[in-house]
Amino acid sequence: MNPLQDQTLALAGLFQAAVETDSLASDGFCDSTALDCSLASLFRIEAESTAAVYGDIGGLGRGLSALVEFLGGQTRSSGRNVSYYVLSMLKLSRALLRDRSTAENLLEGLRQIDSAARDFGLERATVIARVDGLYQRCISGMQPRIIVRGEASFLRDENTAMRVRTLLLAGIRAGVLWHQLGGSRWRLLWSRRDYVRNARALLRRDQNA
């Protein structure tokens, strides 16, 4: 893949986290395949390629579609929340890149969770609970603090809250990756059509696979 395609995948990971967060907060459920893809991306720290971070690109379908929708100007009624989550996660990813101590603590925490999951065969719910704890220790005190908007009955549910924080951490990880691949505020502004074109091509490739 070329650099712009790699950036498109990372950006799709960010959008996927945002739309699934909005789905959980507003409707109480999210796409299981998308959640699994986002969760797994947290532990592929030294992947050989951007595509390898997300495994099967089919797992990024929700994110690629959301990228096309939002950057292509076809925003849904829930677009305000999703845009807020995307921008907030991008800001936090930049802050994390500047905060080496927090970044190292976060990486070490992810490695420990991954090691425990491999050694003891932890169930997904247990892994999510541990990721949630890591988010609260490392990210919750950073600025800007992400305020999740939705139905109070869903947001009060602890299982929903843990999945939301897991998705947000995956989105921040995607934002860090996007910046590392050369993404920037100006690139997002001037390359919107290129991102949309690449996302559509990736969606077609997955559908024809």
| Residue 205 banded pLDDT, cuts 50, 70, 90 | confident
Q: Can you tell me the distance from the alpha carbon of 115 to that of 2, in angstroms, rounded to the nearest whole number? A: 32
- All domains of the chain in start order, with CATH: 3-208 (1.10.3890.10)
Q: Using one digit for the tens of pLDDT, what is the confidence trace for 50-61?
A: 999 998 788 999
Among the ranges given (5-14, 68-77, 86-95, 159-168), the one the predictor scored with the smallest mean pLDDT: 68-77
pLDDT at 58: 86
pLDDT at 10: 98
pLDDT at 75: 66
Among the ranges given (1-5, 8-12, 27-31, 154-158), the one the predictor scored with the smallest mean pLDDT: 1-5
Q: Using one digit for the tens of pLDDT, what is the confidence trace for 133-173?
A: 999 999 999 999 999 999 999 999 999 999 999 999 999 99
Whether residue 14 contacts residue 62, with contact meaning beta carbons closer than 8 Å, is answered with: no
pLDDT at 76: 59
- Residue 153: half-sphere exposure toward Cβ, Cα within 13 Å: 3
pLDDT higher than threshold 80 for residue 123: yes
| Residue 208 banded pLDDT, cuts 50, 70, 90 | confident
Q: Can you tell me the distance from the alpha carbon of 148 to that of 50, in angstroms, rounded to the nearest whole number? A: 28
pLDDT at 77: 52
pLDDT at 209: 63
CA nearest 41: which of 163, 170, 130, 139? Answer: 170
Among residues of the chain, what percentage have pLDDT more than 70? 98
Q: What is the pLDDT of the chain when averaged over all its residues? A: 94
